[in-house]
Amino acid sequence: MMDLFDAVEGEPRDIQLAPGAMLLAGFARPIETPLIESVNAIINRAPFRHLITPGDHRMSVAMTNCGRVGWVSDRTGYRYDAIDPDSGNPWPQMPAVFADLALRAAARAGFADFRPDACLINRYDPGAKLSLHQDKDELDFNAPIVSVSLGLVATFLFGGLNRSDKTARYRLVHGDVVAWGGPSRLAYHGVMPLADGEHPLLGAQRINLTFRKTR
């Protein structure tokens, strides 16, 4: 297991994981409090829920969204939808602190003018995992995806363009931001089952924000 990523507080570091994939270690730490407050405001209106996959499996990761559209899954398939199917209402607006973080992180990673219209918010409780997949429900693969990790540490799996390609493992810790674009945009990736633990701000959970430009 690589152990490059225990950022010294106040010393963000940039590490290229692969072509187009840039880890900005600790980049979100300075705004951890407004980020968590914004997540809490969003889940007040659009609570976390366990989506059902087209194969009729209940996802172990709980999800919600903010932004113009949100990612949803049900028995009929995956899609981006402007309406939260649980409430019938539009998703909560993307907070300025989210949009600003995504724009700054993408720019620092070499992707100018990133204006995401969706933010998928994932909650991992101990044992929750995300199987190897590609993010390909977006229409614009020129834009990167920016991910923000909060709370408990996760082991992230990063493969290649084919499901069978060998995967590398990285530890993502609270405050880490990764931009995934260019040749990494369609790479297979996943998250190993979350180990139990207690984070000082978030308790026994990990929260991941992924910012996407869907059109």
User: Does residue 81 bind Fe ion (CB under 5 A)?
Assistant: no
Which one of 29, 123, 174, 185 is in contact with ligand MD3 (CB under 6 A)?
A: 185
User: Does residue 174 bind ligand MD3 (CB under 6 A)?
Assistant: no
User: Terminus-to-terminus CA distance in the chain, angstroms?
Assistant: 36
User: Does residue 32 bind Fe ion (CB under 5 A)?
Assistant: no
Contacted entry of Fe ion, ligand MD3, none for residue 64, CB cut-off 5 to 8 Å set by kind: none
Which one of 135, 160, 182, 202 is in contact with Fe ion (CB under 5 A)?
A: 135
Q: What residues between 46 and 75 interact with ligand MD3 by CB under 6 A?
A: none
Contacted entry of Fe ion, ligand MD3, none for residue 185, CB cut-off 5 to 8 Å set by kind: ligand MD3
User: Does residue 7 bind ligand MD3 (CB under 6 A)?
Assistant: no
Q: What residues between 112 and 151 interact with ligand MD3 by CB under 6 A?
A: 120, 122, 130, 135, 145, 147
| Alpha carbon distance 201, 138 (integer Å) | 32
User: Does residue 194 bind ligand MD3 (CB under 6 A)?
Assistant: no
Which one of 64, 73, 184, 214 is in contact with ligand MD3 (CB under 6 A)?
A: 184
Longest CA–CA separation in the chain, Å: 46
Contacted entry of Fe ion, ligand MD3, none for residue 62, CB cut-off 5 to 8 Å set by kind: none
Q: In 163-201, which positions are buried (b, 16+ CB within 10 angstroms) versus exposed (e)?
A: eeeebeebbbbbbbbbbbbbebbebbbebeebeeeebee
5-13, 22-30, 51-59, 181-189 -> range binding ligand MD3 (CB under 6 A) = 181-189
Q: In 38-54, which positions are buried (b, 16+ CB within 10 angstroms) versus exposed (e)?
A: bbeebbeebebbebeee
Minimum separation from the CB atom of position 60 to ligand MD3 (A): 11
| Alpha carbon distance 184, 169 (integer Å) | 15
Radius of gyration, CA atoms only, the chain: 16
Rounded to the nearest 10 degrees, the angle between the axes of helix 32-45 and helix 96-108 is 130
What's the residue count for the chain? 215
| Alpha carbon distance 98, 65 (integer Å) | 12
Summarize as ranges the residues that interact with Fe ion (CB under 5 A).
135
Summarize as ranges the residues that interact with ligand MD3 (CB under 6 A).
120, 122, 130, 135, 145, 147, 154, 178, 180, 184-185, 187, 189, 191, 208, 210
